[in-house]
Every structure is written in C-alpha cells, then in structure tokens.
Amino acid sequence: MKILVLNCGSSSLKYQLFDMDGESVLAKGLVERIGIAGSRVKHNKGNADAVVRETDIADHTAAIKIVLDLLLDGSTGVLKSLDELSAVGHRVVHGGEKNDRSVLVSDKVIRDIEECIYLAPLHNPANLMGIRAMQTALPNVPNVAVFDTAFHQTMPPKAYLYGIPYKYYEEDKVRRYSFHGTSHAFVSARAADILGRPIESLRLITCHLGNGSSLAAIQGGRSIDSSLGMGTTPGVLMGTRCGDVDISVVLYLMDKVGNVGKVSDILHKESGLLGISGVSSDLRDVEEAAAKGNVRAELAADILCTSVKKYIASYAAVMGGVDAIVFTAGIGENSDVTRREVTKGLEYMGVKLDAAKNTGLHGKEAIISADDSPVKILVVPTNEELMIARDTERLTK
Ligand code: AMP
C-alpha cells in the first residue's frame, strides 16, 4: 500500500511517499515559496541526491500537480501510475475538541477543520488548502486528517482548563489543547516497545524539544498534561517563542507597544533562545556562542534546560512518579549537553544519566540512563510522517 503524507504550510508543502510494506520512504520533498516569487521544489527519490526545480507555483493545487508529476516522472519518479497511490494523509494542526483521533476526510470533517481556524489561523487554512488541492487532483483517492491536537484530547479538565471565568470555555472553547501530539504518541509507543513493557503500565514524560517544544505527561498511554496551550507560546523556552510568561508581561508589552500584532510577533518570533541570547534561535549556534564565553547565550541555554527540568518534576508529581523520560526532536535527539543539564539534579527522584551513553549520541534510539537508574532515560527519534502514514493506512485499508 503506497501512502502520500502531506504537511502544508501557508507557502510550503512537505511530502513523503511511503510504501507501507516495510514502511520505507520511496520519495520525499519540499515545495517552498508557493504563491511567492522564487518558488521551487526540492525532491528526493529514495536515497538519491535531491533534484531542485525552480518554477512558478501559483498555489497549493499547482504545487500538488508538480509533486505528482515528479512522482510519475521517468527519472525522479517512483510510481508507474497514480492508481498505485492508495491514500493521502494530511497533517492538520488543530482539530479542536471534536477530534480526538485521526479521521477520514468528509465534508463534515472539512467543516470541523474550518471551525477551528480561529484557534490556528495560520495553520488550519493551509492544511485545508492541501486537502482541497488533493481532492481536486485525485478525486477518488481517500484523504485522512491527522491532528496535532488529537493525542492530548485525553487530558482531564483539571489539566486543560485555565483559571479564568468558565464561560470562556463554554462559549469559545478557550482551553489548553497543546500540540505535537503525533510526535508524543509516536515516541511514547516506541519507548514502551524499547523498554519491553506494555504502555498501559507506564508513566512517561516525553520531551519534544525542537524549534517548537512541548512536554507531555503520558500515563497508561494517554496524555494527561502537556505544556503548550491554546496557542504555541507557553511551556518551555523555544527557538523564538517565549515559553511561560506572566500575563502582566503581555499587558505591559501591549501598553508599551500598543499593537496586538507587534506583541504577538515579539512573543512568537523574537523571544526564546533568540530573544535571550541575541545570537540565534538555533541551539547549535547558541551552544557554540556559549562555549566561546557569550554570557547571554549561556543564559539562554540554561533557561531552556531549567524550564524543561521544572516541567519534568511537575509532571512526575502529577503522575505520582515517572518510569521513563523520553527525549525527541532536533534538540532532544541531538543535544547531549541539553539532556545532561536537564537531568542533572533530578537524581533525588531516581533519574541517573549514564554520561558515556549520552555523550556524542545524535539522532539514534538509545537508553541513556545508568543501568541501575530507577527512572529510564531514552532518546527516541520522532517520525511524525510515519505516524500519519500508519493512521492513514489503518483508516483506509
Ligand atoms: P526541530 O525543530 O525538531 O528540527 O529542531 C531544531 C532544533 O534542533 C534547533 O534548535 C537545532 O539547533 C537543534 N539541533 C539540531 N541538531 C543539533 C545538535 N547536533 N546539537 C544541538 N542542537 C541541535
């Protein structure tokens, strides 16, 4: 069964074509600057070098046509006919409260995604463009929507409600949703496999640390708390997003800057590692500057690690303990320094890192806790695309 996975942004489209027999990636690529001058597509067939084509791409429908042509082309392609394509899985950022799992796209599902646009104004419209473009290009191929929010819909009200008048929840569904659900679901299931224990018996804390970051408390395979919120700024320090800040800071900035859009830009695009360090939003640059003695870069990395540590301890408290801590995404998978600093000082709760196993480990699955550590520490590379492909296969087989 061949499944195409699409992740559409407002001016971009990432894709991967899976052969589900063996779960291999046949081709993948990225279309950039859709609707903007300088559009281009970068396509990889298997492990071959990328092919880059620069051509005008007016909209997502045009982008999808180019992708399908590349998949069929004699030199870049991996399909003889589009009939080989069994289904398309779409990453959809917000499913609201109605969607607690992946679904086969129908008119009603499209209306539900539209209804959530006010909760994800940048992402849901782009995700819908991808779905509609695919429906136009291949009307007989089923589409599946896989929501970033769905996995966290198991959070209880005590975790998802904010301490504001209840009517805002009732009338406007103002609440914590959190995101990266597909990643948290993937790495928690994989961690249980690696540990050889049923996920139902485990208390896990998954740390998805990348440009955007979130932690989740996962008890018995269900997300019971997660650090992003109604939006994508709360929780731990991120590349350019602020993490938890006191509302007074927001009100102060509103007063000082006097413009909602500008304050939103400050908190989403100018804060985090970039805002503190003044160097970069990329942790590699920040770590490099810190190593050369840049005090603000050192501080930014320190704030990131401390914020992650605080969430780990609070989620352990909520679950009455923790069996394993799982690191994933760009930082979690690659930064041994971050993993070391985050776990340092948590020995009191049974977290003992094995320095030798941790040091130099990049992007590979491993248990990095000491053999006698009561709490296991794991690195599990995330694979949201594969998770989307699996859900798509399950719902369309
Ligand atoms: P993601 O959003 O998951 O792609 O993660 C991006 C983040 O991972 C950026 O902050 C990168 O600096 C960070 N990252 C990737 N590789 C490394 C590395 N080898 N060491 C430290 N950070 C890394």
Residue 166 scores a pLDDT above 90: yes
- Taking the CA of residue 287 as reference, the ligand 1 atom at the shortest distance is 21
| Average pLDDT over every residue of 150-168 | 98
Residue 10 scores a pLDDT above 90: no
pTM over 0.85: yes
- List the alpha helices (DSSP H) in the chain: 60-72, 107-115, 123-137, 157-160, 167-172, 181-195, 247-257, 260-269, 272-277, 283-291, 295-319, 329-334, 336-343, 355-358, 384-396
* Alpha carbon distance 182, 323 (integer Å): 21
Q: Is 337 in the pocket of ligand 1 (CB under 6 A)?
A: no
Q: Are 119 and 66 in contact (CB under 8 A)?
A: no
Per the listing, tokens 């040091």 go with 359
Residue 179 scores a pLDDT above 90: yes
Mean pLDDT score of the chain: 97
| Class for the domain spanning 2-147 | alpha beta
pLDDT (tens digit per residue) in 87-113: 999 999 999 999 999 999 999 999 999
Give the amino acid at 67. Answer: V
Residue 383 scores a pLDDT above 90: yes
Residue 163 scores a pLDDT above 90: yes
| Per-residue pLDDT at 122 | 87
Cα(273) to ligand 1 centroid in Å equals: 12
| Per-residue pLDDT at 267 | 97
Question: What is the percent of the chain with per-residue pLDDT over 70, rounded to a whole number?
Answer: 100
| Whether 112 is catalytic | no
Q: Is 283 in the pocket of ligand 1 (CB under 6 A)?
A: yes
Taken in order 324, 325, 328, 333, the sign of the CA dihedral is negative
| Per-residue pLDDT at 254 | 97
* Alpha carbon distance 218, 220 (integer Å): 7
Binned at pLDDT 50, 70 and 90, residue 377 comes out as very high
The rounded Cα 244 to chain-centroid distance in angstroms is 18
Binned at pLDDT 50, 70 and 90, residue 47 comes out as confident
Cα(94) to ligand 1 centroid in Å equals: 24
| Per-residue pLDDT at 64 | 95
Q: Say which of 21, 49, 148, 354 is annotated catalytic.
A: 148
Q: Give residue limits of the domains in the chain.
A: 2-147, 197-384
Token pair in block for residue 45? 């067939």
Evaluate whether 2-147 and 197-384 have a shared fold: yes
Cα(275) to ligand 1 centroid in Å equals: 17
pLDDT (tens digit per residue) in 296-344: 999 999 999 999 999 999 999 999 999 999 999 999 999 999 999 999 9
Residue 86 scores a pLDDT above 90: yes
CA-to-CA dists, residue 94 to 36, 149, 229, angstroms: 25, 6, 12
| Per-residue pLDDT at 238 | 97
Q: Is 284 in the pocket of ligand 1 (CB under 6 A)?
A: yes
Instruction: Give one DSSP letter per residue of 163-208, joined into a string.
Output: SS-THHHHHH--S---S-HHHHHHHHHHHHHHHTS-GGG-EEEEEE
CATH topology of domain 197-384: Nucleotidyltransferase; domain 5 (3.30.420)
